[in-house]
Every structure is written in structure tokens, then in C-alpha cells.
């Protein structure tokens, strides 16, 4: 199956500096990250000391200080263990969305087991937050050309949007042929995919919506990338980070490959300061609101194209 086409850009020069980007937090504890999935077994998780709640408190303070609302893509497993903080996040005006139950990649499922995973996570998240869950982000951005049935399952379960595609080439994930901006992955459903931000550097797509790009490189790179997307391309950027990224004191995982450790632990000390710069410098909002704006844009574009049809 070929990658579907993107929504084309509209001329929005009047709104130049007013683009509201999508801000998201992938809520998982320090021992649940993809980098360590071969070193720490899922049945060890219950015995490990949690740090996610303290880190979430700091993130809530940071967002409150900047007066921004964001989306927290949360593991069902984390919500089951820490229901109170999930409720507090939702009560503060942020969106609780799904990151699956226990961080298994979509590529590790068939459709039936994926359906079960997202159903299980959603029940817990809706219970804890007291609000409907309408968004989903695949662990490790693991929706790519091989598992496009996942979109059909999300649509069938009534999700409004997904933010599960990294439209780049990367060693651990990525779907380099996918559109860089919002698209409808299914011809017959309203489900919107909001890919994580990428920038064009030397003619190539680079991941610019978080992760190592943000944590390891100087903040100036991220500023440049988001400006490129907002000003040159007139599109919103989708950004993400994790609670463990602002926690320099997290336990070090022994036995992990050196490359994973380097990637995981570099830049933690500077992360909170960089995030503060980012949330103040650009405009940010929840992902569900971004999905609705992108849908409206698609409708407007359709009307525009219709009106340009020659009269019969």
C-alpha cells in the first residue's frame, strides 16, 4: 500500500506568527522506554521505584507557568499505578490520550491483539481522568507502512486522531514516505493522523519534534526547525517529550548497550531549561484541538478547490 497524500498547504500569510503547535508528553516511567526494552522485562516493572509522578508535577508547574495546555499520551499501565496524577492532569485542562497499555510496539501486534491493547488502556485512562479519550500515540512511533491496519482499528474504536507516525528514516522507527503534515490515513473515515514534526535539512527530512534532536543538540536547532515549519511552511509542528527527560537523577540502567545509554542520558540536565524556552517562544495547544483545526483546514481547502472548478 502506498503512503496517502498530505493535506496541501493554504496561504495563511495573514496568520504568520499565530500558528498554534501541538504539545505532547509521552507518559511513561524511566524503566519503560524503548531504549531499554531488551534489558528490563515487563514483569520487573512492579518492583522498580517510580519517578514519573514527581516528574509530571514539575511538567504541570512548567506548563502552568507558561499558561499552555498540552496532551499527555499515557500508558494504561502508568495510569493504573498512579490514578490520582492522571485526574490532576485532566483537571488542569490538559488532554489525557492513549499511549497503549504497556509500551508494546504496534509492529509486535496483530490487529486483534492491538485492538485489545488499546481497549484495555482506554478503559483505565477514561476511568482515571473522568473524560473521554479520543487520541492515540503508538509507542516508539511504531505505525508505519507495515501496520496500516492499526488506523482502521483506531477508527473503528471511535478515535478522532492518531499521532503515531514519524515521517523520517531512523534506525529504530520511521515511515519516510508518509506525509510530513496532517493526513487522512483511511479513504472512508475521519481519523486524522498528526505526524511528529520534521524539518528539511540539506534536502533530507530530519526528526525535529523532540527526542534526541531536542535533548542532545543545542536549543538553537529546535528553534530553527520549528521556525522553518511555522514560518516557511506555514504549518503547525507536533512536539513531544517524556517525563524522564527532565530527570537527571534517574537510576542508570546497567547492561544496556552503550549506544542506548548515550542516547538516553545525554542532555538531561539542560532539558528543563530548554523546555521552558520552547514553551514560551512558540504557541502551543492540545493535540485534539490541533486535529480539529487540521480537519477544518481540509474542509476549507476542499471548498476552495470546488470553487475553482470551471462553471459547467
Sites of contact with Zn ion (CB under 5 A): 26, 28, 139
Asked if residue 98 lies in contact with residue 122, where contact means CB atoms within 8 angstroms, the answer is yes
Residue nearest to Zn ion (CB): 26
CB of 282 to Zn ion, least distance (A): 23
Asked if residue 45 lies in contact with residue 101, where contact means CB atoms within 8 angstroms, the answer is no
Dihedral sign for Cα 242, 246, 250, 252, please: positive
Which lies closer to Zn ion via its Cβ, residue 19 or residue 79? 79
Does an H or E element contain 156, and which?
helix 149-156
- Cβ-based neighbours of 157, under 8 Å, separated by 6 or more: 115, 118, 119, 122
Which lies closer to Zn ion via its Cβ, residue 28 or residue 153? 28
Which lies closer to Zn ion via its Cβ, residue 37 or residue 294? 37
Cα torsion 5, 6, 11, 12 to 10°: value is 170
CB of 40 to Zn ion, least distance (A): 14
Which lies closer to Zn ion via its Cβ, residue 19 or residue 125? 125
CB of 222 to Zn ion, least distance (A): 19
Which lies closer to Zn ion via its Cβ, residue 139 or residue 285? 139
CB of 116 to Zn ion, least distance (A): 19
CB of 298 to Zn ion, least distance (A): 28
CB of 59 to Zn ion, least distance (A): 15
CA pair distance 177, 239, nearest whole angstrom? 20
Asked if residue 281 lies in contact with residue 231, where contact means CB atoms within 8 angstroms, the answer is no
Work out the number of other CB atoms within 10 angstroms of the CB of residue 113.
Answer: 10
CA pair distance 149, 287, nearest whole angstrom? 22
Which lies closer to Zn ion via its Cβ, residue 6 or residue 267? 267
Amino acid at each position: 500500500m502506498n503512503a496517502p497524500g498530505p493535506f496541501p498547504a493554504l496561504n495563511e500569510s495573514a496568520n504568520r506568527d499565530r500558528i498554534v503547535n501541538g504539545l505532547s508528553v509521552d507518559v511513561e516511567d524511566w524503566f519503560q522506554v524503548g531504549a531499554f526494552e531488551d534489558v528490563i522485562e515487563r514483569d520487573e516493572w512492579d518492583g522498580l521505584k517510580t519517578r514519573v509522578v514527581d516528574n509530571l508535577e514539575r511538567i504541570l508547574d512548567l506548563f502552568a507557568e507558561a499558561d499552555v495546555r498540552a496532551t499527555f499520551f499515557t500508558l494504561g499501565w502508568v495510569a493504573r499505578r498512579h490514578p490520582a496524577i492522571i485526574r490532576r492532569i485532566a483537571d488542569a485542562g490538559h488532554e489525557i490520550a492513549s499511549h497503549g497499555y504497556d509500551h508494546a510496539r504496534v509492529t509486535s501486534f496483530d490487529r486483534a491483539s492491538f485492538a485489545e491493547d488499546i481497549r484495555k488502556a482506554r478503559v483505565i485512562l477514561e476511568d482515571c481522568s473522568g473524560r473521554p479519550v479520543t487520541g492515540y500515540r503508538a509507542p516508539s512511533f511504531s505505525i508505519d507502512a507495515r501496520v496500516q491496519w492499526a488506523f482502521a482499528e483506531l477508527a473503528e474504536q471511535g478515535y478522532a486522531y492518531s499521532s503515531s507516525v514519524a515521517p523520517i528514516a531512523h534506525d529504530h522507527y520511521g515511515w519516510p514516505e508518509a506525509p510530513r503534515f496532517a493526513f487522512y490515513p483511511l479513504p472512508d473515515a475521519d481519523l486524522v493522523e498528526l505526524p511528529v514534526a520534521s524539518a528539511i535539512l540539506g534536502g533530507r527530512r530530519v526528526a525535529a519534534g523532540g527526542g534526541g534532536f531536542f535533548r542532545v543538540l543545542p536549543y538553537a536547532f529546535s528553534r530553527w526547525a520549528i521556525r522553518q515549519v511555522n514560518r516557511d511552511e506555514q504549518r503547525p509542528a507536533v512536539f513531544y517529550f517524556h517525563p524522564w527527560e527532565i530527570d537527571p537523577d534517574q537510576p542508570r540502567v546497567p547492561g544496556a548497550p552503550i549506544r542506548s545509554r548515550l542516547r538516553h542520558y545525554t542532555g538531561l540536565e539542560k532539558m528543563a531549561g530548554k523546555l521552558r524556552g520552547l514553551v514560551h517562544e512558540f504557541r502551543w495547544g492540545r493535540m485534539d484541538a490541533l486535529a480539529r483545526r487540521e480537519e477544518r483546514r481540509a474542509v476549507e481547502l476542499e471548498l476552495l478547490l470546488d470553487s475553482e472548478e470551471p462553471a459547467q
